[in-house]
Structure formats: structure tokens, C-alpha cells
Structure 1
Amino acid sequence: MTESQPAFPGDQGGELSQAVAPPPGQILTGKQEHYLKRELIARQVRGEISELNSPTALQRFGAPFRSEFGEVAPVDSELPILRYIFVHHVRNFPFLDQAHEKQFWQEKLQVFLESFANKHVSSSEDRLEETKRRKLARKCEKLVELMMVSGVPTASGYEERIQFSEMEVVERGANEKGLLVNMPEGNAINTWDVNVAAVRVTSVKRTVRYHPHAEFLLRVRRDDKEEFHVGRRYGEFVKLHRRLRTEFPGKHLPPLPRKNKSSTTSSWFGSSADDDASSVSSLSTQDTSLPEDGTGSSGRTLAPGGTHKRSPSQGSFRSAKSGRVSTNVSRETVLYREEQRVSLRAFLRTLLQNKRIAESKSVEEFLTAGPIKLNEEELLDVQKRKDMDAVRIEEQKRFYEIARQRAAELDVYMEKFRRDIVESNGLTKLFAEIREKPCIEELSPQYQKFAEWLRIEVAATVYHLFLAEDNSPELFAQAKRIHGLVPYTLLKNVIRIANPAAVMSGVLDLFLAQPFGSRSLLQRIFSLTLNESIKDFQKNIASVTAKVEDQVLAQKLKTFVEADETIKNEIREEAETEDVDIIVAILRSELIAPELTPEQIEKVFNGWVAWNYAVDNVDLEMQQGAQWFANMKQLLKLFTRQRDKAMMLSIVEEPTTLQLFRDLFTIFYEPLVRVYKSANVYSSITDFAQFADDAIAVIESAQRQDASADPNQTVQSFIDLCARHQDNFYKFIHEVHLHDNGLFQSLMTWVEEILDFLRKGPQGGKLDMNAMFQGAVGVGQVDKDLALTEINALIKWHEDRKRWHLNKTRQKMAAEGTTETIPGSATFKGSDFGLDEGDLEDLTISDEASDSEDEATEDDEEDDPIASERRRRVKKQDQLRRTAGEPVKPEVQEILKLGDPFVVMLRHTLAD
């Protein structure tokens, strides 16, 4: 091995930046090979996915799609990567492998996709917002890039990635993060630190009698200011929920927990001197019934004018006055409306996670209006609730620790199980054994241990969902109500007797039939929905057009939206080149009639200037012109969306769309129905009902237990629950695999083929990056030194980016207190399936950057477009601050000249 040399100029040394010199006869080192391959593959993937927008893309794709240019050979495909994935991992997918080449792929799917591409539905750039198609395309791009970079090796065998010896950073699991969310103190969310700290009883006089009501005491802290308390009844939470629905129409809000009057019994450790003091607490009395005189157990009343009156605390600290010695005792305490308290805390914290809601006036008034000062009894109850929260958190930690310890005891067997799965055809062998063995006891030892490990995981999940979270009581109550409503016996008999294939065939005929060539029922339903939407857009367009007060300008925007795509692209390029708003570029363009008068052009420019000024400044000096320009932008968006609806309507009206829908439904539904009938799935409904009954009993028993009960018993009760029903669950899986007519076998084969590609690469060979590079240098196509400089700059950028991400991750974990690892939690690794850990980490970094961009470009529907644009720009600045310090990718030019020879080599490699 030759002496190592710095990978690039200015290197500071260390494991990360050293590279082994290239072997004799080769120009590129292992790192240079890998990152050159990565860059060229990334650009090829990006180009191929964007090319799918072209109406002629599938004609240049190759078989099974038809082409006007004749049969396209694999080595001639202009989309070699997508063609390979389609042929090897899409077309042979179980279900789709039975589709006819001409009837399905060419006459239906290809016609539909080409028709959709010809409609030119608006993109993210048109709407100034992220569309779902854009986000999906970006995710697909990264996954395809990961698959090709990891799956297609280089010929030299020296391919090398940047490695961090200290990169073994493992975050806590979701359970530990959940515990942090439940912490009653120090949990600030969007500047609000809120805890439902206690519950007191107030009495309101109605006519003659006093009526007791529970009032929840909220401890509120904001921006490190001094904390204060406010009292809110359940009805005020209901009013808050209604106000938010009015203030944010269409915004998804968490459901308000139902009223829950149950109390929680717990052992509370204190001194004997506290006995009498606790007896006067409205929240800790042995008897949960309330006095009918309206005073409540706290002796607190409401005067007719609405002010609180306090009656004397009877016998408070009596034992202390008598000189009785204080000793630590354990006494039973009833915490009034405890489950409701933690449910409402979860509700508030879920609300506050949305920044707009957290900054709303409704939330601010709810959390700040009418602060109160707590008396001694209420302070004592706050402390008891705090102690109860601490006990609950500690119990959860001990539960997960015990569960982890039990799972860790199975690590030896899990390692054997992992090796069995990772090796060749491991998944096929696993499901073959499930098919052959009728019960768990007959499985191989490592599979039995896997079942035991799975029991622990399921037990922990059930515990976490229905006991550990603040919203667990509400979730459990909902699950229990739904379980009580489902008619399992009736459902079982219906499924047992009915023929779902015949039923669905009849339903399809009903909705898709086209009598005498008229539109089908499904087409009429879609048309009705889309036409209503188009009419709604037209009403909004008329309203905004009236505000613009210029029909010529409005008509020109509409002409642009309906213009040919080449004209649109030319105007968009002009707007980007001259750095003007797209509205200005459209209205001044001579490519779209009619031409504007000088006065109209002046009005447009003045409106644009006012718009920018009003967005960047808070004052209202140029508000009128800015509002006019905002209406123009809104009008363009409305015209664009209305055209999209019209294009979708035309696609629905095409007969090919219905035929494709019927074929897809038949292809995927019929095989599953055959399995469903032959495996007697209906018998498992009774098994599920029994499991639900048993789970409810176990959860209710755990709820009744003392909070200081032995967590070992709690863990064991949930594991026993899973053990009692595991045989029924295994019987269901066994029956399905036994009568699957080869369906699951073909699914496993399909998965194994993907894993084989990731582990071994394509059968067509490997990428000889050195030969390609030497060939390009030899003919003078590429400047060797300049190309190597660019490759080394890319390596330096990847290294700096990894280090930046590592430091950012450590800072985040340190801030959240999530630096510990979970023993035994990582059963499988990416390398087990042929995915390099370094490539996976690069995908994670890219995903985080992408998600950050999505958040920054998220469009909010607002009545005030100026405020919406101002917020959009603020979000963009926030995103820039979050990525502050992130290394900037260097511009490359010379290595792009390798694109053509690389694609030729890639085609031959993937042509099998």
C-alpha cells in the first residue's frame, strides 16, 4: 500500500480527510471514485424524474411501453435508471406481473399518464407553494439515488466513503421522548410553559342552591417571566376549542377530551403532621362526594357577585399545634378529576405545538386572563399533583427499563435471528417455516425467541398508548367505546356468508357502467364535485376582479394561465432573469394579448413597489397600492387553481381513466379476496374481540393499582396479556400463508430480489469509473487536474456537511437531554440489507434539509395576503437561520463533461 496523501489542499489531517493513494494504473482514489459516482448518479436521477413530466417520456422509456420510434432497446433508453427499477422492481411486483403488456401498460396506463402530462397541471412555482407532487418527487429522487449509489458498485473494489469514528450517536427511543413531553415542569412549547397543576372545587349559586364545579388550575410561565396561575372550568376549554375553530377554519385541531369525573386513588408519602392538612384539600379527600351546602370540600364558595369566599379551614395543622411528633407515613389519597387533568394538559400542549395557534389571541386570553393567588390548601394540592406526576414518570421509566432488560436477555437469540434474515433468502425461509409449523412451540428456537421479544415490544406499546401518555385516558375511553359498539358476531357471520368478490364486482358495475355510451355514475359524482369547486373559484374570481377594477388586466392573467406551456416558460424565465414578480412579467409581456397602456403599466409597477414596501415594513404608508397588487396575485392563483380543476375534470371524463381504475382494482383486489376466503379470516374476528376484552380488563386493573405498585408486576401483566393471545394471532398468520396460493411466496421473492440488487449489484456488471475517467482525459474531453480539484471539493463539502450535521445533532440532543442510548434497540442495520450506513446518513441529512424547506415554504390561507406573504418571508428567514453554518455545495463544471460517457456506461451496466 502506498503512502497516504491528503485528499485535498488545506487538509488538517485526521481520519476523516485522509485518503489512500490510487492503486497503480488508476487515477482516482476510492473516495474520489465514490463521490464522483454519487454526483453523476444524483444528477442523472434528478434529470430522469423531471423528464417524466414530458408527454413523450414513456415513449423513450422502452418496453413495455409503445414508442413511435420503434422498439427502444435497454442500452438506448434515455431513462436507464428508471427503466431498470421499473422492469426489475415494479413490473414484476406480485399482482402487476399478471397485467397484459398491450391492454394494460400501453392502452390504459400509458394513455392516462400521457394525457395527464399534456394537461400541464400547475407546479409549485406557479402557485408559490409546495404541492404534494413536488414533495413526493423530491422524496422519490432521494430514495432512487440512495438505491443506485448503494446498489451499483465500482469495478475497482476500492470504493470508500467518509467515515466518522465518533458518529455512533443513538437517540433515545420514542418512549423516552414521550416521557419528556409528559414532564410537568420546564416543558416550554412555542414560548408557553403550561401545566394543569391542580383541581379545586368551586360553587356557583343558582337561584337557591349552590352547585359545585371543578376548576382546573393552570400554572403558566412565558419567556422566563414569573409564573402565575389561572383557574378554568371544563366549559371554558370547550369555548376555547370553538373559538379556535372559528379563528382557524379548516385547520386540524386536536379533539377536546370528554368530560371525565373519575378520581384517582394513590399512596402519598408525607408526615403524620400533614394528615389533617390534607383533609381540607379539595383534591385529596378520602370521600369524593361533595357537600350539598355548596361549600365544597375546600370550604370555598362563590358569592352571588361571582367572587370567591373562603370558609375557615377546620382543624388545619391541629396535630402540629398539639406537639405531635411528625413521622413519615403512607396514606391513601384521592386526587379529584386526576385523569381529566392530565388529558386537558395533553390537549393544551398539543394545541401549543402549532405556532400560529400558540400566538393567537384566543389562546393568550385563555392562558393569561384573570390570574389568581393560590391558598395553602391549593398549594398543597399542587405539590401532591406534582409528586403524582413524578411518581408516574418514574414508574414509566422503570417499566421501560425492565422491558429493555428483558429484551436485552434475548439479544443472543436476536443476533442469530438477524443473521438468518440477512443471509440469502432469509425472509423466504422464515415465511416457509410459518407456513409449515402450525403453532409457535414447533418453530425453530431463534424464531420462538423472536416471538418472545415481540411480546415484550407489543406489551410496551400497549402500555405506552393506554397508560403512559397524558392523553392515554382519553384514548383508552375512545377505544373502549368503539369496542363496545362493534357487533363482532354479526360482522363475523356477514363476512362468513358473503362473497366479497361478487359484491365488489357488482359495486364496480354499478359505479362504472356506461349505458348507451353515457357517463358513468362515478364520472357523474366526480364531475359534480369538480364543477362545484370550479363554480366556487369563479365566485371568488369575480369578487377579486371587482377589487382590481380593471377587466383588461384580469383577462391578461387568465390568458397567461390558459396559454401554451412554451409561452409560460418564456415569461417565467424573463421574470427570473430580470428579478421581477411574475405578475409584472405577465402584464408587460407582448407574448400575451392585449397590450397594456402606459398608464396601466405604471399602475402595475407602482403596485409592485408598494407590495414590496408594505411586506418589508410594518407601516401602512403604501397600503392601498400593496393591497391592489395582492389582489392581482390572488387572482392569478385563483385562475391557476380553476384551470387545474378543469383539467382534472377532463381527465375524469376520458373513458381510459375508468378502464384503468377498474383494471387496477381487479389486479390488486381479487388475489387478496382469494386468500381471504380460503384462510377463513372470519374466525379471527372472535379472537380479536376476546383480545380487546382482555386488554381492557388488564388496563383497567393497572389504572386501579397504586401508583407505587411494583413495575415488575405491571410489565408482567401486559406481557401475559400478549402471551394469552399469541397463539390465536399466529394461527391467523399461519392460515393466511397456508392458503395464499403462492401470493406471499411471490412477495418474499420480490423483496429478496431488491435485497440482492442492493447487496450484489446488477447482473450487467460494475461501473469502471477509472476507465471512464482515463478515457475522457485521454481524448482531451476533460482536464484531469481541474476535474480532480472539483471532485476533492465535493469530498470536502460532504465531510464538512457531515461534521456540521453531527454537531447540530449533538446540540439538539444535549438541549433535549436525549444523549443516552437504548440497549438492545437496534436489531437490524442498513448494512444488513446492502445499504451503506454512510449513504443512509447522507439521505437523513438531505431529508432534514428538505423538511426544513417544506416548513419554510408552507402556504397559509389568509384573508390578508400581505400578512401571509410577510409570514412566508419570515419563515424563509427562520429556515435560513436554522441552516446557518451549513457548508455550501461547490459549483462544478469540468466533471459534468463526464455525463455522456457515464450514461453510456450506466446503460450497459443496467441493461440486463
Structure 2
Amino acid sequence: MLTIEEEHLLKRELLRLEMNHESEGLDNMVNLDQLGTPFVLPNGQFADGSDYPLCSYVLRNYVVSFPLIKNAKPKFWTETTQPFIQGIASKEISSSADRDETTKRRRMGKVIKRMLLLFFVAGLGSNRKKIKNTEVSDSVEGLNLNEDETSAKSVQSTDSKNSKTSEKSEATDSISTPEVAPSSFNGTFATVLGCREITSSGIMKKTHSEYILECFHDRQSRPVYVARSWQDFVTLSKQLSQSLPGKRLPSLPLKTLKNTVLVINDKEEVVLLREPQRVLLRQYLKQLCFIPRAAQSSIFQTFLFKNPIVLSPVECNDIENRLALDKTRYLSEQEFLTLTLERERKLGKYIAEIKNQILLEDALPKLFMEMKMHQRVEDMSPLLQKFVEWCLVQLAGVLFNLFIAKDTSPELFSQVKRLHNLLPYTAMRGILKLSNPAIIFKKMTDLFMATPFGSKSLLQQMFIKLLNDDMKSQEVLIAELEQQIPEKDIIKAIELYIESDYYTRNALQQLAMDEKVDLIVEIVRTHAKSRNREVMNWYKEWNKTVHSENEDLGNKHADKYSQLKDLLKLKVRAHDKQVMQDFWAEAETMKFIREIVNLTYDVLIDIFKYANISESLGDFQKFMNDFISYVSYATSEVVLNSRQMVNDLLGVLKKHQNSIFKFINKVYARDEGFFIDLVQWMALFVEFIKRGKCDQNKLDLLGLVENSKSADPVIVKKELAELQAWLDKRRKTASESTAGLKTTDDFPVTSQFELSDLGLTAEDVDFGVAEVENENFEEFVLDPSQEVNDPVLLERLRIQKQKDIEARKAQLQPRPLMKETAKLLPAFKTMVFEVLGEAKLDPVKFINV
């Protein structure tokens, strides 16, 4: 007899094995038709979905039922969607091994896999509670985060905040800048400290600005100060692009002439020249310092260290004021975060009440009904008002982080402001007010989708043009790089590899891994054998450079191999863009888009008909005017105290919150089905989880083990005990290894929802995380290489990351082999298919809006 804990562990393990099987089978969408309705088999019949019960259930109940496409005819799925998806899957798009980095597709797939696993763990219960003590089993199923898990999360959050605080505080004490030194790989550090005005001598005197740089190299005992004009930065950018062909370099930020007024002691105002530009240039230099080949180039070194200056008392005072401003900014950011979290905690009890109502009392339709009845937040129930306030606090943190807190914020704000000023709001409102928006939408759709005389549509031409522009920039980089590589047969070998099919590329990648050599070496061995020895020598020199403590990248053989690595990556990306260009040119693509537009046309027409788009556009213009004024005031004129910044930003959001609800109300009040369908669809997820908590979706796991003819129950019980011991050890080491990791988000959005609210225990989540971790350990090791494009530095980071992964593997020990438990999978799959077949959700039965 299995204990309750062992039974739940068995359920999680079998769901894990089944999810792995289904994700592998559907990896390239070849078996899409096996999911069953609405996809069709080659013989015209529909599969029952028994081979992929979990994914088939998601497809039938959550994808097909989505409000915008739920009325689609069978031909939409069989003749349009299915060929479209399988067409995408058949494209020879590069993999992570080709790009030498983890692709977004791979990362997204892992996230979806984890979410589905936890979803079914929460939604599928067992019939054990019917024959055992209900209170005991309920306590196990509804268990909240245990003390170890809670403390681990607390330690992780605290350490993360402490690490950020220590980094910033240490930096602000230095004269350089509150930014951490960009790179420890090349020993070069540069930042922009201040700005001064210089008047030229002569009859025609002209005044221009010069930025004061602090530059440091680890071979020097003290920093060097230099002055550089904007034109000097422009020249640097051009010269680096010419001297490093094929290298992706950061773009020089846009020029801005804005100044900042600093208020000292609440009385004296000091004008800081070109302060927003200084911050952007500081970020630009930081990015250059992180690219070893650029940082160590003679051009960059000359820019940094030629013609040093001695700072005058006025310049020193200016730098001190700017450093004080940097420190004030940072302290304001921290206090802003503290104040928003404080407001969020005060609203926590209301959020807890809302989540309980949604998950336990079917309150979701009631909340949406209030939006249908009221146009103003002030007229809604106190509970919903608090929820709206909580959302505004979250939104305020995001906006502050994007447009004020970061070094790149001035450039982003400048782009948004420029776009806002260019939009002809008055003309657009007049057109929308005097004409029928539905007719305009129909005409615009026809304009973009029409294919006169069989030619490409305007929409196709737009996307193809964008891709073509990207391809041209890639081709320029490739051409510049190929000029540096006289061995044309090696270039041809790389092209042959890229143009080969998926299975050929995968075989070469696997061969390179087995022989523990780089992919380039294996490509040359296969397609350019005469160059094998030469390239191998380059590879050895490149390896020496990678593993050498000497940061000098001047070895010509190592540079040769680095160029080949750059060329492979550029050609792979160019090939992907060509594939996507061909994809947009295909008739199946436009057919799918046209069908989607047709399905959503009626819904969009209702929105245009009832929402008074012209008035809503005017409301949006007013919000943007107020928001731009707030950001300009907060960043350019005076330094506000944090509490005032929080109150002012929330004031801007609250001032315009009723405009959003007025728009929703106008559409929802006259809605003939879309909003109701949308609420019903959202409630499907909640209902499935609630059924799992109430054991309506029952799995007979005890019967599965006892009646199995292939698996020995004693060995299964032993394997479960070994797995539980491994999970306990994994939880401990996971909390230790992730406690010190820094998050890239300075303002993380916290959640008031707990795992137990979704029918998940801490053990359930640990199990799902362990499954992701067990695949390759990548998510649990910090990856600093996302923005790095130098081959040598990338290889160093990859080697270090691999060492960290291996160390973690050794720390965690291998996952126990569940050979006997896996023998239960066929019978378990049949059971899950039957249970999910009975768990079909009908929204009409449990929701009435």
C-alpha cells in the first residue's frame, strides 16, 4: 500500500514522464495530426488523441474554445491552420547549436512545458481521499509553502537585494560612477563623469560641449581624465565599425541637447550640461568595454588615453554634483521601490480576498459584471477599487523602471516622445469621428491583404522589405568579414553546412560533441578536408587564447578562427532571415492571416461600433501628454523626493484610469457575446484546477500499481523513496545555489498568489522545477553571455558556465532511474486519457454572466 505522499509523488512522476514523451513527439510538429480533432490524419480521419492525452486536452478545451476562433469552421483547422503550422515546422531554421547560444524557441518551450506540468499536477487528483481520512489528505493536498521553501525564497530575495545595494553603494562612493566596472576580462574601464563648455579661439568664437571621461587600465596605478566632444564619439563609432568587420557593436545613442537642473539644499539651482546625454554615453562606453576586441583595439585605447587633462576646480565641482545626482537617483529608485512595496503590502489583504473569491466562489464573472455596470472606478465595489489600485502600483513600478531608473531610459523616453509628437491625433480623431470606423477597417484590411493579379499583398511586401533590409545589413557585415578570409574553400564549407538539412546539421553537431571539438572543425573536416590541418592549428591557438590568463587577443591564428566563428553566426542568421522571407512570400501564410482576420472581423467591428474610438484616442493623447510632462519634470528640471515621485506618478495613472473603464464599459454594455465568452474561457482554467482540488478528475493510482502486470509494486515503492530523497537534497542545494543570483529586473513584480491557491504543494513545484533542471541545468546557472558577441569571450563564458553546470550536477547527484515506475506509463496514459475525456469543461454549467 502506498502512502498518500508516495501516491502524489507517483502522480507527479508519471505526469512528468508523459509530458516528456509528448513534448518529444511534438517537437517538430510532424505528429500534429495525432492530437485529434480539429486536426486531420492523412487519410481524412480524426485521431482520438490517445497518444498525446495532455496536449490533446489543452488543444480541445483551451485553444479551440478561445473566443476569437471558437466559431471557426472545421476547414479553418484542416485546410489552413494545420498546413500553416506544419509549414513553419518544416522550415530549416537554426538551432541552439548553430547559433552557439540558447534560442528563444528553446527557452520558451521549456517554460511552456513546466507550466503544463504544474497545471495538470494541480488539476488531476486521485480517488485516495474517498477511502482515507479526508482531513489528512486535504491537509497534504492543500499544503502551503513549508518553512524550508519559504526561508529559501526569503534568503534569495534578501541576498538579491543586498547584492544590488552593495554594488551600488560601493560604486557611488567612488569618483568614477555608480555603475559597476563593465568587464573583468580585459582590464579596461571607462565612464563619462561630466561635461564642460569650450569656447574656441579666433575671430569667430564658437562654443561647444566636451564630455569628461575617466579611463582606467589594470596596468595603471591611477585613472586618466580626458575630454571628448560629440564628434569624437561619432568618429570612434565609425572607426570601430571599419576596423572590426563583421562585429556587432553597440549603436551610438541619439544626440540630445537637454540640460538638467539640480536643486542643492532646496535653494540653489545648478545647471548640469547635457546630463541625459552623459548618461547615455556612459552606457555606450560600458558596452564597448565589455567587447574585448573593441576595448583592446588601438582606436579605442587612443580615444581613451590620448591627450589627458587635469581637472579644474570648476570641473571637479561639476563632477561632484553629477555624482551626487547619481547617488540621489539610486537612493530615489530604492525608496521608490520600498514605497511601492509598502503600498502593495497594505493592499495585500484585499488581493487575498479577491483571489479567494475567484478560486473558491466563482467571483470572476461578478468582477467583470461591475465593469459592465460602471464607467468609473469610484462607483465600483470597494474590493474592486482596491484591486485596481494594486494594479496601478504594479504599473507605476514598471513605468518608473523603463522611463526613469535605467541608463537607457532617456533614449527610450526620447523615442516615445518623438513618436507621440509625430502622430496626427487631431486629424485621426476627425477621420474616425466623421466616418464609419467599420468601413475604414474593412478598407484597410482589403488594402493590406489584396493580391492584385496574383502579386504579393502589401502586408507581405512590408514584412519582406523589413527582412530584406536586415539581410542587407547582414550581407554588408558578411562581405567585410569574407574580405579578411582568403580561404574561400572554408567559406564554401560553412555555406554547405548551413544549406544542408536539419538531420545533416544535427549529425555534425553530435559528432563534434562526441569528439570534443568545435563545430567549425567538424564542418571543415567534412566539407573542406584539405584545410583540416590548417584549421586545426588555428583552433589550437584559439583554444590557448581562450584558456590563457593573458588577455591579449593579438594571436593571428586565434583571430583567424574567431573570424570563422563570427562568419558562421552571421551566415546562420542571414539564412534564418531568408527562410522567414520565403515564409512570408508563401500563399499558405497569407491564407492563414486572412482567415484569422475574417474570424476576428465581427468582434472588432462591434468594438469600433460601440467604443467611440475617436474619443478614446483623445483620452490616450491626454494621458501621454500628462505622462511625458511627468517624466520630463522628474528627470530634467528638479530632483523630486521619492514619496512625491510615487504620489505624482500614481496621480497621473489614477487621473486617466476612468478613461480605460469607460472604453471597456461602452463595448461591454452592448456586447453580444465576446466579453461573456472571454470570461467563460478564463474561468475554464480556474474550474479545471478547482475540480482537481475537489478530486472530481480522479486517477486510480493504487489500482494502477496493484493491477499492473509489468511493474513490481515493491520496486516502485523503493524507487519513489529514492526519488523523494533526491528531491529533498535538490531543494536544499537549489536554495543555496540560487540565493546569490542577481535578477536583471530592478523592480520585480511580486505576486500575492500562493501555490496552495492553485492546488499545488511546495513539493509539486519542487518536482516541476527539478524536471526542468534535470534536463541540462542551464536555468539554474547564471548566463552572462546573452549580450556578448565576441567569440573568445563567449567561449570563456561558455566554459565557465559548463563548469558551473558540472559542479551543480556533482552537487545534486544524478536523478534516480525510475525504470520500474516507467513501466506503468502505458496504463497511466490510458487512464489519463479516459479521465480527461470525462473532464470536458462546459462553461455554461458553472458561469452565468
Q: TM-score range, shorter-chain basis?
A: 0.7 to 0.9
- Please tell me the residue identity of whatever aligns with 2:83: V
Q: String of CA shifts for 1:605-652, please: whole Å, max 9, x gaps.
A: 6457435423323499998899699979978996x8898778767766
Aligned to 1:386: 323
Q: Which moved more, 1:615-624 or 1:723-732?
A: 615-624
CA contact (8 A) 2:190 2:289 kept: no
Shift of 1:61: 2.0
Aligned to 2:678: 747
Using a 3 Å threshold, how does the CA distance of structure 1 residues 556 and 242 change in structure 2: closer, same or farther? closer
1: distance between equivalents of 2:633 and 2:504? Answer: 70
Q: String of CA shifts for 1:188-225, please: whole Å, max 9, x gaps.
A: 332476654444444432x2365444443344566697
Aligned to 1:189: 182
CA contact (8 A) 1:437 1:443 kept: yes
CA contact (8 A) 1:343 1:474 kept: no
- Please tell me the residue identity of whatever aligns with 2:200: V
2: distance between equivalents of 1:586 and 1:706? Answer: 59
CA contact (8 A) 1:199 1:341 kept: no
Aligned to 2:200: 204
Using a 3 Å threshold, how does the CA distance of structure 1 residues 423 and 342 change in structure 2: closer, same or farther? farther
2: distance between equivalents of 1:906 and 1:793? Answer: 25
Shift of 1:80: 1.2
Aligned to 2:157: 171
- Please tell me the residue identity of whatever aligns with 1:63: T
CA contact (8 A) 2:160 2:741 kept: no
Using a 3 Å threshold, how does the CA distance of structure 1 residues 852 and 367 change in structure 2: closer, same or farther? farther
Shift of 1:712: 4.8
2: distance between equivalents of 1:729 and 1:625? Answer: 58
Aligned to 1:875: 797
Report the secondary structure of 1:208's partner residue: coil
TM-score, scaled to structure 2: 0.77
Using a 3 Å threshold, how does the CA distance of structure 1 residues 185 and 132 change in structure 2: closer, same or farther? closer
Shift of 1:739: 3.3
2: distance between equivalents of 1:424 and 1:641? Answer: 51
Aligned to 1:488: 425
- Please tell me the residue identity of whatever aligns with 1:885: R
1: distance between equivalents of 2:416 and 2:653? Answer: 18
CA contact (8 A) 1:544 1:631 kept: no
1: distance between equivalents of 2:460 and 2:274? Answer: 53
Aligned to 2:622: 690
Residue 31 (structure 2) pairs with residue 106 (structure 1):
no
Residue 544 (structure 2) pairs with residue 613 (structure 1):
no
- Please tell me the residue identity of whatever aligns with 1:902: F
Q: Which moved more, 1:541-550 or 1:430-439?
A: 541-550
Residue 118 (structure 2) pairs with residue 146 (structure 1):
yes
Q: Which moved more, 1:648-657 or 1:229-238?
A: 648-657
Report the secondary structure of 2:659's partner residue: helix
Q: String of CA shifts for 1:344-375, please: whole Å, max 9, x gaps.
A: 46534763695558845365554444444434
CA contact (8 A) 1:122 1:644 kept: yes
> Aligned ranges for residues 775-790 of structure 1 at < 5 Å?
775-776=707-708, 779=709, 781-784=710-713, 786-790=715-719
Shift of 1:794: 3.0
Q: Structure 2 residue aligned with 1:431, among 368, 379, 382?
A: 368
Using a 3 Å threshold, how does the CA distance of structure 1 residues 662 and 267 change in structure 2: closer, same or farther? same
Q: String of CA shifts for 1:314-342, please: whole Å, max 9, x gaps.
A: xxxxxxxxxxxxxxxx7514143273476
> Aligned ranges for residues 440-519 of structure 1 at < 5 Å?
440-458=377-395, 466-470=403-407, 475-510=412-447, 512-513=449-450
1: distance between equivalents of 2:480 and 2:255? Answer: 42
2: distance between equivalents of 1:173 and 1:729? Answer: 39
Q: Which moved more, 1:878-887 or 1:486-495?
A: 878-887
Using a 3 Å threshold, how does the CA distance of structure 1 residues 885 and 771 change in structure 2: closer, same or farther? same
Q: Which moved more, 1:81-90 or 1:570-579?
A: 570-579
Using a 3 Å threshold, how does the CA distance of structure 1 residues 841 and 686 change in structure 2: closer, same or farther? farther
- Please tell me the residue identity of whatever aligns with 1:253: P
Q: Which moved more, 1:846-855 or 1:106-115?
A: 846-855
Using a 3 Å threshold, how does the CA distance of structure 1 residues 816 and 789 change in structure 2: closer, same or farther? same
2: distance between equivalents of 1:451 and 1:632? Answer: 51
Report the secondary structure of 1:617's partner residue: helix
Shift of 1:487: 2.4
Using a 3 Å threshold, how does the CA distance of structure 1 residues 856 and 31 change in structure 2: closer, same or farther? farther
Using a 3 Å threshold, how does the CA distance of structure 1 residues 131 and 730 change in structure 2: closer, same or farther? closer
2: distance between equivalents of 1:736 and 1:71? Answer: 41
Q: How many residues align?
A: 795
Residue 283 (structure 2) pairs with residue 347 (structure 1):
yes
Shift of 1:85: 0.6
Q: Which has the larger radius of gyration?
A: 1
Report the secondary structure of 1:682's partner residue: helix
CA contact (8 A) 1:63 1:72 kept: yes
- Please tell me the residue identity of whatever aligns with 1:46: N
Aligned to 2:664: 733
Residue 20 (structure 2) pairs with residue 46 (structure 1):
yes
Aligned to 2:250: 253
Shift of 1:92: 0.3
1: distance between equivalents of 2:795 and 2:690? Answer: 45
- Please tell me the residue identity of whatever aligns with 2:81: L
Report the secondary structure of 1:334's partner residue: strand
Using a 3 Å threshold, how does the CA distance of structure 1 residues 126 and 255 change in structure 2: closer, same or farther? closer
> Aligned ranges for residues 589-628 of structure 1 at < 5 Å?
603=530, 606=533, 609-610=536-537, 612-618=539-545
Q: Structure 2 residue aligned with 1:264, among 249, 261, 265?
A: 261
Using a 3 Å threshold, how does the CA distance of structure 1 residues 255 and 744 change in structure 2: closer, same or farther? farther
Residue 713 (structure 2) pairs with residue 791 (structure 1):
no
Aligned to 1:770: 702
Q: String of CA shifts for 1:510-532, please: whole Å, max 9, x gaps.
A: 55555666766766787899899
Report the secondary structure of 1:911's partner residue: helix
Report the secondary structure of 1:264's partner residue: strand
CA contact (8 A) 1:262 1:339 kept: yes
Residue 593 (structure 2) pairs with residue 661 (structure 1):
yes
Using a 3 Å threshold, how does the CA distance of structure 1 residues 46 and 254 change in structure 2: closer, same or farther? farther
1: distance between equivalents of 2:412 and 2:90? Answer: 47
Aligned to 1:592: none
2: distance between equivalents of 1:896 and 1:392? Answer: 57
- Please tell me the residue identity of whatever aligns with 1:256: P
Identity %: 25
1: distance between equivalents of 2:565 and 2:619? Answer: 61
Report the secondary structure of 1:425's partner residue: coil
> Aligned ranges for residues 83-162 of structure 1 at < 5 Å?
83-101=56-74, 103-117=75-89, 123-125=95-97, 130-157=102-129, 158=137
Flag structure 1 segments of 5+ consecutive residues without an equivalent.
Answer: 1-25, 269-329, 590-595, 863-867
- Please tell me the residue identity of whatever aligns with 2:662: K
CA contact (8 A) 2:39 2:78 kept: yes
Aligned to 1:276: none
Q: Which moved more, 1:128-137 or 1:577-586?
A: 577-586
Q: Which moved more, 1:485-494 or 1:851-860?
A: 851-860
Aligned to 1:62: 36
